[in-house]
Every structure is written in C-alpha cells, then in structure tokens.
Chain A
C-alpha cells in the first residue's frame, strides 16, 4: 500500500527558499531531487522502536532570527551554554537557522580554517561543500527523512581545517530553535584535511514544551589521513520536538573520530551515530549518554563500521530512565571482509529508576572476517541496593546517594566532553531531568 504523503511545504517553497539564499545550482537541484524522493521513500525503521505515530509532518518553516553584537548580549536562555569565564574565541550562534552571532579567531582565519554557516559555505566554498555534502557520508536517498533533510535544509555550519592545521581552541556552534513551532533541518559538515586536528562542540536548544514541531539533524564528519576530530554534543530539544538525528563519520588512514554525545532531548528521538572506519588504523570512540523522563520514547543506534585493516571501534552507551520513558540502545560493530585485525568493542548500560520505564540494550556484532577481535557487554538494571547501603551508611541521604550513583554511572561519557563548561552544563541538565 502506498500512501501519497502530503508535506507541509511544497516544491515551490523549496525553490524559492533556495533562490533566496543564492544557493549554487547543484544545491537547488539536489533539494528538488530530494523533495521528489521524499514522496517515494519509506520512513526509517529503527530497530525495536515503532515511530509510525510520531509527529514528522506537523511543523512550520520560515521563522527569522535576530542578531546580537557581542556575547554580553546573549539571551538569557543561552547563558548556560556559553562559558562565561573562558569566553569562546570560535563560536557561532544560530537562531531559527540564521546567524545571531559569529566569531572565529584571526589566527585560525590566517591558517585557512573555515567556520561559517552552511549557506555562506555553499556560496563561498561551493566546490568543497558540493564534494562532501550528502555524498559519501549521509545520502539523500537513505529514507524519507534524509531526503526531507536535504529538501528543507534551513540551518547549519561548515567547518574546514586545512592540511596540518591543529585547532587548539574548540569551535562551538549553538543551534537555538527559539520559535516554538519552527522546524530545524540542520546540517553540520566538517572536513578535516590530512594531519589536522579539531575539537567541535554543538548545542541544540528549544523550549516548546507544548507546541509540536520537528528537528531533522544531520552531521557529517570527514577525517582524512592522520586527522583527529573530537566531536561533542549536547542535544536539548524540548518535549514538543520530535527529533531525527544522524551523525556520521568517515575516518581515513590512521584518522581518529571521537564522539561524546549528551542526548538530553525531552521529546521522542531517533538518533543514529555511525562511523565508517575506512582507512587502516582508523579509530573511533563513540560515547553517548541519555537521561529519559516523562513519556518520551527514544532509540539510539551506535555503529562502528570497519572497512579498514587494524581499525578500532569502541562504543560506550549509558542511559538513565525514569517515569514512563522507553529507550532502546543498539550498539553495532560491523566488520567487512578484508578488515583484518579490526577490533570492535561495545558496552551499553542502562539504569532504570522507575518500574514503568522500559529499557533495552542490544549489542550486535556482524563480522565477515576471520582475523578480528570483538567484544560486547550490555546490562539493564536498577540502582544497586548494596551501593546505596554503603553510601547511606556514611550518613548520605537516600536521594543524595542515588544522585551520586546516577551521576557516577554517566560520568565515563560526561567526562569525555571536550569543554569543561559543557561537561558542567550536561551534568546540570542530567540533574534537572532526573529530579
């Protein structure tokens, strides 16, 4: 049975939006091709989560943002997300997809580092963006949501680090979906050339606890030979937002892509994080953490896909679930034939704080090569009563003991976020969601 789906914004809207942004013709035609594909493609089918009744169609587009001239004028809703003591030198804030504030150090500019919004990037660096945008990372035709992503793209950033350049100060992007009904189709594109280094941190923020809308987020990270990219994220979409989040990495020879993802959305979320370990000796550490509350349903899939010999993929997932929340954690190590001496390790651990919460951890190994090493560990459990007894036996109250155990349980991921202030912010968010 095929149902002709009506999307809230038509092809004309897509054309007009593309022209308004002076996009190169390749982008305009990509959007239109994607728009047509969206009608024919199926929705993604995340393992063990039924998303058929989730809201993916009720949203608006077109909200505008406003600019600020310095970080001192930062709106109150964002102050938690910017380090006030160590004011970031490289930061872009986007409000409803348009630039609110942008800064990049002179030093990095001189070294040829590019850090712009995605629309400027398409105009000024059309060749590079065309080469990487939804080609070898995420494709428009994977399913309906990747197609819609390209068709409705309305925000994002592009980061380019030239050969041999080590970016020491982190680059931060804050994506603020300030308008309560506007959808965010946000794209982060990172290209790290040979032997370069980058630390990137992103924040997603919205406040629509009642109004419904959608976020459709794609990140593509390309780490060429010997490059090292450390990618941190704190997602904080409000309860009204249904999120589809797809972060993907491609690592060439001896390249490393490390992920530290704080997935703190309050709404229904499908989030996948796939790293293609293409080159020999490529490495990824995919760490993610979540705290679920209310009635939200979430599906997290982390994949290390080994193509290269001696590639090393480590997955670490931690989740804390309360109320009536449901969360599925899929951790997949996939080793292709020929990826000899590859190593795929997975660990998924879920802590249940309520009898009504449902959690599931599925470690999966798909191995097509003999000479490999792999391992997995998974557990779903409650707060250990003997740990509670031990802490309480020192006078610590039951609530405080539980708080310490939960924060400690999530610490191996939180601790890996690249910026201290973002770690602090994530801890605050976790406490807010758990209590």
Chain B
C-alpha cells in the first residue's frame, strides 16, 4: 500500500458561531495509530466530524490535506473515496435500506460502474466479516442501524471499516457502549486491518481502556479545543493512573472544556 498522509494544520472550527477548535495541528501517516484523549467537551469529536465534513460544522481557519490534496474542497463522499473513514459515535438510522444493500453500494462507489463487486464475492466477504465481528447474520437484512442496540451500531461501524479498507480511519469513541467482550472482538478486528493494510488511524476516546487492546504509537491530549500535550503510549498509562488534573496544573488551565455556553 502506498504511503498516505493526513495533515491537519491550525484547524479552527465553529458550530453556530461558537468556536470549538482553536488551532489543531496533527499529522497521521499510514501505519501510525494516534490516540486523542481528553475529558468530555474539549473538542475531540468535533475534530473527527470536521475532517469527514459533517454539515453542522464550519471550518473558519486552517487546512486539512490528504497526500497534499485539499480535503476541505472535497464533498463528503469524495473524502471517503480518497481514503478517509469515520466510525461514528452516533451513526444515522436509515429506514428501508438494508445493511447489506448499503455496504454493497458503498463498495461499488469505489469501483467503476461496469465493474461492480460480483454478488457472490460480496456475500462471502460480508459473511466472513460478520463472523469475525460476532455479528448475527440477520443484521445484513435489517434496515441500517434501525433498532440496533448501541453495541450493534458500533460493531456495524467496524464492519464497514473492515469491508471498505480505507487509508486513514478515525474512530470516534468506538468503545462507548461496548462491554468488555465486545471491546475485545472489535479491537481484534481493527488490529487485523492494521496488520493487513497498513491502516493509519486516529482513535478518539476518553478512556484508557480501549488502548489496552489497541496500542497507539502516539497519544495526544486535547483541552480547550487544542492539542495541549503529546507523547507515546506511556502518556496514556500516566493519564489512567493520575487523571487529567496534573496536565491542567502544568499548563495553568482551570476549565479544560471549550465552547460551553454559560
């Protein structure tokens, strides 16, 4: 696989005239796993949504490039076809569209019109991925995310990651709502993709727990809409042991949150 680089520079993002990100810098390359940690309300999920192009957020300053190409100029679907993937914290429910049809459309969107994935090959790939993630085969014929439990939605996001094979994936709190067994299954699957494809990854979480299963190469701490501290996997261990207070003290931060209206 070719080397891919996602570069985020001085990113400022607003929602409803409220600035949430205040100059984020981050570079992710193929094969690298970055974890962005931090308490609630510090801008972590906004970063994920802004990269993918969520309609509620406005980029007011800075740049995002993928291999030098301007991501901010791309439509959401173009970003995906360029190699970006976001496992969402709150994926939409789409009535009347089966998970299977949706997956097939997503795969075919990456191929030439006359070169759609053959049905049998698709079913075989999907069945294998469903088994690996310990998802009931029935889910393929259920409407997308409709009536899914929190855990089923998370597994479905990773199912898509596995089948779409992006260059750079962002996992937005993929661990929330997963019990310990599910967390292990999902982590194994992500680690599998990591080994097979050289995936680059940005893991957003506020728990160290997930990082026991997926070891990051880099750990970043986010507060007040900026990355305030970066380090190796040992930083995550320290956060688990000591919490975030010491960072706040070190940096003289009283309220780590951002964009909270009084």
Q: Which of A39-47, A227-235, A397-405 forms contacts with chain B?
A: A397-405
B residues in contact with A393, CB < 8 Å: 52-53, 76-77, 79-80, 85-86, 88
Does A165 make an interface contact (CB < 8 A)?
Answer: no
Say which size band chain B's interface belongs to: 20 to 34
Q: Are A400 and B105 in contact (CB under 8 A)?
A: yes
Q: Which of B94-102, B123-131, B176-184 forms contacts with chain A?
A: B94-102
**Partner of A396 from B88, B92, B106, B143 at Cβ < 8 Å:** B106
Does A391 make an interface contact (CB < 8 A)?
Answer: yes
A residues in contact with B77, CB < 8 Å: 392-398, 401
**Partner of B94 from A397, A398, A405 at Cβ < 8 Å:** A405
B residues in contact with A388, CB < 8 Å: 55
> Can you list, as one digit per residue, whether each of A374-392 has a CB less than 8 Å from chain B (1) or not (0)?
0000000000111111111
A residues in contact with B76, CB < 8 Å: 389, 392-393
A residues in contact with B106, CB < 8 Å: 394-396
Q: Are B102 and A392 in contact (CB under 8 A)?
A: no
Number of interface residues of A (CB under 8 A): 25
Does B91 make an interface contact (CB < 8 A)?
Answer: yes
* B-contacting residues, A384-435, CB 8 Å: 384-398, 400-401, 404-405, 407-412
**Partner of B109 from A387, A397, A410 at Cβ < 8 Å:** A397
Of residues A387, A390, A404, which shows the largest number of chain B Cβ atoms within 10 Å of its Cβ?
A: A390
A residues in contact with B52, CB < 8 Å: 389, 393
B residues in contact with A404, CB < 8 Å: 94, 97, 101-102, 105
Question: Can you name the residue of chain A whose Cβ is closest to the Cβ of B81?
Answer: A395
In the complex, A387 Cα to B81 Cα: how many Å?
A: 18
Q: Are B96 and A394 in contact (CB under 8 A)?
A: no
Q: Are A395 and B95 in contact (CB under 8 A)?
A: no
A residues in contact with B247, CB < 8 Å: none
A residues in contact with B105, CB < 8 Å: 391, 394, 396, 400, 404
In the complex, A393 Cα to B54 Cα: how many Å?
A: 9
B residues in contact with A389, CB < 8 Å: 52-55, 76, 92
Does B160 make an interface contact (CB < 8 A)?
Answer: yes
Chain A nearest CB, measured from B111 CB (Å): 10
Q: Are A394 and B92 in contact (CB under 8 A)?
A: no
Q: Are B109 and A405 in contact (CB under 8 A)?
A: no
* A-contacting residues, B80-124, CB 8 Å: 80-81, 85-86, 88, 91-92, 94-97, 101-102, 105-106, 109-110
Chain A nearest CB, measured from B229 CB (Å): 30
Chain B nearest CB, measured from A276 CB (Å): 31
**Partner of B164 from A394, A398, A401 at Cβ < 8 Å:** A394
Chain A nearest CB, measured from B137 CB (Å): 20
Question: Can you name the residue of chain A whose Cβ is closest to the Cβ of B49?
Answer: A389
Does B70 make an interface contact (CB < 8 A)?
Answer: no
Q: Are A408 and B96 in contact (CB under 8 A)?
A: yes
Question: Can you name the residue of chain B whose Cβ is closest to the Cβ of A410?
Answer: B96
Q: Are A396 and B109 in contact (CB under 8 A)?
A: yes
A residues in contact with B91, CB < 8 Å: 390
Of residues A388, A395, A398, which shows the largest number of chain B Cβ atoms within 10 Å of its Cβ?
A: A395
Question: Can you name the residue of chain A whose Cβ is closest to the Cβ of B87?
Answer: A393
Whether A386 touches B92, Cβ cut-off 8 Å, given contacts A396-B109, A397-B109, is: yes
**Partner of A394 from B54, B55, B109 at Cβ < 8 Å:** B109
Whether A408 touches B94, Cβ cut-off 8 Å, given contacts A389-B53, A393-B86, A395-B110, is: yes
Q: Are B75 and A394 in contact (CB under 8 A)?
A: no
Q: Are B55 and A386 in contact (CB under 8 A)?
A: yes
Question: Can you name the residue of chain B whose Cβ is closest to the Cβ of A401?
Answer: B77
Q: Are B96 and A407 in contact (CB under 8 A)?
A: yes
In the complex, A409 Cα to B55 Cα: how many Å?
A: 22
Question: Can you name the residue of chain A whose Cβ is closest to the Cβ of B88?
Answer: A390
A residues in contact with B81, CB < 8 Å: 395
B residues in contact with A412, CB < 8 Å: 95-96
Q: Are A408 and B97 in contact (CB under 8 A)?
A: yes
Question: Can you name the residue of chain A whose Cβ is closest to the Cβ of B164?
Answer: A394
In the complex, A397 Cα to B97 Cα: how many Å?
A: 16
A residues in contact with B55, CB < 8 Å: 385-386, 388-389
A residues in contact with B79, CB < 8 Å: 393
What would 10 more interface pairs be, CB under 8 Å, given A393-B53, A404-B102? Answer: A385-B55, A386-B55, A386-B92, A387-B94, A390-B91, A394-B164, A395-B80, A396-B80, A400-B109, A412-B96
Q: Which 4 A-B pairs have the closest CB atoms?
A: A408-B96, A411-B96, A395-B80, A392-B76
Can you list 5 A-B contacts with CB-CB less than 8 angstroms, sorted by A residue number?
Answer: A389-B52, A392-B77, A392-B80, A393-B80, A411-B95
* A interface residues with partner B (beta carbon < 8 Å): 384-398, 400-401, 404-405, 407-412
